[in-house]
């Protein structure tokens, strides 16, 4: 079946849905210039000998300098990135009422910048830094700007412990309230659109199964195979930045807005969010 025909089928499923939910992964942000995790030769996991040496909570506690050395170039890429048409398409679908929630595994803030409102960032975000010792939380802007400019690792102003971006590292707990809300939407969903996720990291990658077990339909838009391909109604092996705007177009009164060169912002322009809880992140 052609990509055009697959998109037409997905449009019909979305038209019939009463509670459609999107689950996005790193692949939705690769068109914005942010590398994903597992794609051959381009993924972050492929470019490090052992990501557990830098991107786990154990590694952060034992060698925070290595963590921040790894984070610095990635943070620069994220700060320079702009939302792409896929991000805007999901925000527009939400604005029209066709999409009830966006659940993302990404920490890059691009969904929020594109205008998504009912957004669940299950792996955390870069708006804040948090002290692992006393749990004091601060907006990330000033501390991260200092780190980017001078390489100064942020320290807690209360206990002087090294602070960590409020993102979920391997072996760490997911934000409880955020994950519970995401699970609620998954259980209520009659359509799940997976966009740019390999579904390999639990428990976020297991959310579509909650929906499927309650009778939901499943659309997967991803270049790589996933463990749920055999249960999907539609699989589209194409660029999410091309597919999602085409999926959204029939529901929009006008074309989605796009970002401009002046849209680049720093972490200081982003607001605040929530605390963490007791759902374990898979490896």
List the CATH number of the domain containing 166.
Answer: 3.40.50.1220
The pLDDT tens digits for 44-79 are 555 554 667 788 999 999 999 999 998 998 899 998
For the chain, what is the domain count? Answer: 1
Residue 262 has what pLDDT?
Answer: 34
HEC states along 133-186? Answer: CCCCEEECHHHHHHHHHHCCCCECCCCCCECEEEECCECCEECHHHHHHHHHHH
Residue 39 has what pLDDT?
Answer: 53
Q: What angle do the packed helices 85-95 and 240-248 form, to 10 degrees? A: 20
What mean pLDDT, rounded, does the chain reach?
87
Residue 55 has what pLDDT?
Answer: 86
pLDDT at residue 283 is higher than 60: no
Is the Cβ–Cβ distance between 106 and 26 less than 8 Å? Answer: yes
Query: Known catalytic residues?
Result: 123
The pLDDT tens digits for 221-256 are 999 999 999 999 999 999 999 999 999 999 998 654
Residue 222 has what pLDDT?
Answer: 97
Give the pairing of strands 137-139 and 234-236. Answer: unpaired
Least confident interval from 26-40, 140-154, 245-259? 245-259
Radius of gyration from C-alpha coordinates of the chain: 19
Domain of residue 39, residue span: 3-280
Residue 8 has what pLDDT?
Answer: 98
Phi, psi (rounded to 5 degrees) for 167: -115, 160
Least confident interval from 16-20, 54-58, 160-164, 224-228? 54-58
- 216 or 37, higher pLDDT: 216
Q: Percent of the chain beyond pLDDT 90?
A: 72
Residue 136 has what pLDDT?
Answer: 96
Is the Cβ–Cβ distance between 174 and 277 less than 8 Å? Answer: yes
Contacts of 8 (CB under 8 A, 6+ apart): none
Q: Which strands sit side by side in the sheet containing 234-236, from one edge to the other? A: 119-121, 99-104, 20-24, 191-195, 217-221, 234-236
Residue 44 has what pLDDT?
Answer: 54
Average pLDDT (182-194) is: 98
CA distance 224 to 244: 17
Is the Cβ–Cβ distance between 171 and 283 less than 8 Å? Answer: yes
């Amino acid at each position: 079946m052609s990509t055009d025909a697959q998109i037409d089928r997905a449009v019909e499923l979305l038209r019939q849905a009463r509670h459609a939910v999107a689950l996005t992964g790193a692949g939705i942000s690769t068109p914005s210039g942010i590398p994903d995790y597992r794609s051959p030769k381009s993924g972050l996991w492929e470019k490090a000998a052992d990501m557990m040496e830098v991107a786990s909570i154990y590694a952060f506690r034992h060698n925070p300098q290595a963590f921040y050395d790894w984070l610095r170039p990635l943070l620069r890429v994220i700060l320079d990135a702009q939302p792409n048409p896929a991000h805007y398409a999901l925000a527009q679908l939400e604005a029209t009422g066709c999409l009830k929630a966006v659940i993302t595994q990404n920490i890059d803030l691009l969904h929020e910048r594109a205008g998504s409102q009912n957004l669940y960032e299950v792996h955390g975000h870069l708006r804040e830094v948090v002290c692992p010792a006393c749990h004091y939380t601060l907006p990330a802007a000033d501390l991260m700007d200092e780190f980017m400019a001078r390489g100064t690792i942020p320290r807690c102003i209360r206990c002087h412990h090294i602070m960590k971006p409020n993102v979920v590292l391997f072996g760490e707990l997911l934000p409880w309230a955020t994950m519970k809300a995401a699970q609620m939407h998954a259980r209520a969903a009659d359509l799940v659109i997976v966009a740019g996720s390999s579904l390999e990291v639990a428990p976020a990658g297991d959310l579509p199964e909650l929906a499927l077990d309650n009778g939901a339909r499943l659309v997967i838009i991803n270049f790589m195979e996933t463990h749920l391909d055999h249960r999907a109604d539609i699989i589209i092996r194409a660029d999410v930045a091309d597919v999602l705007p085409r999926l959204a177009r029939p529901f929009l009164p006008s074309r989605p807005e796009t970002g401009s060169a002046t849209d680049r912002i720093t972490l200081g322009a982003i607001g605040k969010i929530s605390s963490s809880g007791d759902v374990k992140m898979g490896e």
